[in-house]
Amino acid sequence: MKKKTLLSVSVLFLLLCTTATVAQNFLEGGRVSGNFQLDAQIYKADSAIGAGEVDEKMLMNAFANLLYSNGNFNAGLRFETYLNPIQGYDPRYKGSGVPYWFGSWRNEQFEITVGNFYEQFGSGMILRSYEERNLGYDNAFKGAKVRFSPADGVILKGMIGTQRFFWEQGPGIVRGLDGEFALNDIFDKEGNCKTRVILGGSFVSKYQQTEELYAGPDTLLILPANVASYALRANVTRGKFALDGEYAGKMNDPSFMNNFIYKNGHSLLLQASFSTKGLGIIASAKRTDNMSYKSRRTESGSFLDINYLPALTRQHAYSLSAMYPYATQPNGEMALQGQVNYKIKRGSLIGGKYGTDIAVNYSRITSIKKETAEGESKIGKPGTAGYKSPFLAFGDELYFQDFNIEIQRKFTNSFKALISYLYQDYNVLILEGYEEPMVNAHIVIADATYRFDNKQALKMEYQQLITKQDEGDWLQVLVEYTFAPKWYFTLADQYNYGNSDKNKRFHYPTVSAGYTNGSNRLMMSYGKQREGIICVGGVCRNVPASNGLTLTLTSTF
């Protein structure tokens, strides 16, 4: 498989080059660019915090992207190497190779891409392939896609491909069509209408050879080979107001994720916002019911996803506020979120000389209501229609709740500060899969930066998490000195001072330093890392406890 890729890449490049030699000026104006990242960790066992012995002592991930562009032609590849994958990455990444390469060209109306590619239809509820390199997530398609824009305001897309599964491709073939119509660009070229309307629709179908599977001693399931899904979306903006909505449906898709029920899936996402200079308000609601959609029906975990179900919660940036992150429950959830951003004017009595920023955010996610399906006595029995669920009813079970407020203010030219309070409820059983009481956590954060001169600054962070459940209370203190634009030094300690088991009240100190020169950056950190979930974008990765040295090098050229 890998060899085939190598061969294809070589052919692509050779073709490119020979063409260039024939048509002398093909490469003229062509440009190669790229980037590189290396993460290496040297481990030291620490039985107290649960950091195990690592046989290799040192583990390393690295990748490099190379892009060639010339006018309307682009080609690129990514080399990846995991020798062996650093802790927290799936061990199936072990090895080296070129899992990603593509060629694409475009003119006024068409854009054609062959090879590996990423794509998203609408908000991604029925199709999205993307990568989060730093979490080891990549569900790129391999195949072909075409984008066609026959007129202003009209974008049609079609694609076919299989999905990346570590160094292989998943078994399912995914076919997709999407159309997007910006009505104003089509019918109102002069721009007389103040309301902007964009409509879109998509259709996706996956094919995986049919299988027969015993769900019980006398329940033989015949699993559908083709599973279709569709979505409709609208986006309306008028001045300060915006309204966004997408509805998605999926045909019966019995899979490991939904315990092999034959129920259709649905999802609805609605968002409304109002914003003007100094004030922004947004409210969102989402319902998800049986929407896991993968290109292998027996797949568990977060691989081979065809679609993406965005979590309607705020993504936090401080480590203790991100300690209990929410992940979308594809089998069913009702979610609500609201956020207000407000700036108290600069120069006002309360706003101070530079103004004050306030942000309040609230989200609440519960189960959906499930009732037994017709003629069944049990909810979610394999081989049945699973359950019935009234569309607008909230379930009784709370999955996650987060209230947070953040106030940020610059006091003088050299001093600024942020304070924040959060309250979170986190359902351990649903989100981590083991029996534990719901975590109720209060979190306070204070973050202050003092600027000595035009280059030097000191930043201090204080974070405290108070909870009676799970591992109890935490404290984090961080001091960072920066010498712009090249250097930073950080000292930090996380302390589990409230652990109910006194022998587990550990400190997790780290020291780190970094050097940046233009787009080259070298970072080193030494210390202990607690076990936890790191989330970026939509994906979360469980990182085991570790103790040792981490080195990260990134470069772009």
For residues 40-59, which are near another protein according to CB under 8 A?
Answer: none
Answer for which of 191, 347, 433, 485 binds another protein (CB under 8 A) is: 485
Residue 13 interacts with another protein (CB under 8 A): yes or no? yes
350, two tokens: 């309360």
Applying CB under 8 A, does 247 fall inside the site for another protein?
no
> What residues numbered 205-234 form the site for another protein, per CB under 8 A?
none
**Residues in region 262-281 near another protein by CB under 8 A:** 271, 273-281
206-214, 218-226, 446-454, 463-471 -> range binding another protein (CB under 8 A)? 446-454
Find the shortest distance in angstroms from Cβ 299 to another protein: 21
Which residues between 57 and 116 bind another protein (CB under 8 A)?
Answer: 65, 67-69, 72, 74, 106
Helix (H) or strand (E) holding 430: helix 428-432
Instruction: Assess 302 for contact with another protein (CB under 8 A).
Output: no
Q: In whole angstroms, how close is the CB of 31 to another protein at the nearest point? A: 5
Helix (H, G, I), strand (E, B) or coil at 1: coil
Q: Which CB, 351 or 509, lies closer to another protein? A: 351
Q: Shortest distance, CB of residue 466 to another protein, whole angstroms? A: 22
Minimum Å gap between C-beta 158 and another protein is 15
Among 61, 123, 255, 389, binds another protein (CB under 8 A): 123
Residue number with CB closer to another protein (226 or 519): 519
Beta pairing partners, 161: 143, 174
Select the span of 6-14, 161-169, 208-216, 378-386 touching another protein (CB under 8 A): 6-14
Q: Tell me if 451 contacts another protein by CB under 8 A.
A: yes
Least Å distance between CB 140 and another protein?
A: 11
Tell me which residues in 511-530 interact with another protein (CB under 8 A). 514, 516, 518-519, 521
Site for another protein in 410-429 (CB under 8 A): 410
| Residue 202 contacts another protein per CB under 8 A | no
| Short-list 531, 523, 511, 516, CA closest to 552 | 523
Peptide bond into 84 cis (omega under 30): yes
Q: Check residue 527 and give left, alpha or beta (phi > 0: left; psi -120 to 50: alpha).
A: left
Question: Please, are residues 461 and 445 in contact by the beta-carbon 8 Å criterion?
Answer: yes
The stretch among 177-185, 255-263, 462-470, 543-551 that binds another protein (CB under 8 A) is: 177-185
- The Cα-based distances of 412 to 415, 417, 449, 462 in angstroms read 5, 10, 11, 21
Complex with another protein: residue 321 or 427, whichever CB lies closer:
321
- Identify which range of 7-15, 47-55, 428-436, 496-504 contacts another protein by CB under 8 A: 7-15
Reported as half-sphere exposure (CB side, CA atoms, 13 A), residue 315 has a value of 12
Q: Are 161 and 173 in contact (CB under 8 A)?
A: yes
* Buried b or exposed e, range 5-24, using 16+ CB within 10 angstroms: beebbeebbeebeeeeeeee
Q: Which residue number, 210 or 517, has a Cβ lying nearer to another protein?
A: 517
Q: How far is CA 1 from CA 57, 79, 230, 507, in A?
A: 30, 15, 32, 46
Span 144-173, contacts to another protein by CB under 8 A: 155
Sign, Cα dihedral of 71, 75, 81, 86: positive
Of 84, 237, 252, 440, the one binding another protein by CB under 8 A: 237
Residue 25, number of CB atoms within 10 A of its CB: 8
Cα distances from 125 to residues 109, 147, 220, in angstroms, run: 27, 20, 31
Our finding on whether 403 is near another protein (CB under 8 A) is no
Whose tokens are 């108290």? That residue is 344
In the block, which residue shows the tokens 């936090």?
Answer: 316
Residue 553, CA distances (Å) to 84, 100, 477, 512, 522 in order: 17, 21, 26, 13, 5
DSSP 361-429: EEEEEEEEP-EEPTT-SSTT-TTS--EE--TTPEEEEEEEEEEEEEEEEEEETTEEEEEEEEEEEE-HH
Counting contacts by CB under 8 A, is residue 1 touching another protein? no
Taking CB under 8 A as the criterion, which residues in 306-365 touch another protein? 308, 310-312, 314-318, 339-343, 354-355, 357, 359
For residue 446, state whether it binds another protein (rule: CB under 8 A).
no
Among 128, 145, 164, 206, binds another protein (CB under 8 A): 128
Considering only residues 360 through 399, tell me which ones interact with another protein, judged by CB under 8 A. Answer: none
Among 45, 220, 392, 536, binds another protein (CB under 8 A): 536
| Rounded least distance, CB 547 to another protein, Å | 24
Contact, 373 vs 387, CB < 8 A?
A: yes
Q: How many residues bind another protein (CB under 8 A)?
A: 107
User: Please, which residue, 65 or 469, has the CB nearer to another protein?
Assistant: 65
Q: Smallest Cα–Cα separation from 405: which of 362, 346, 355?
A: 362
Joined together, the tokens standing for residue 233 give 């979306």
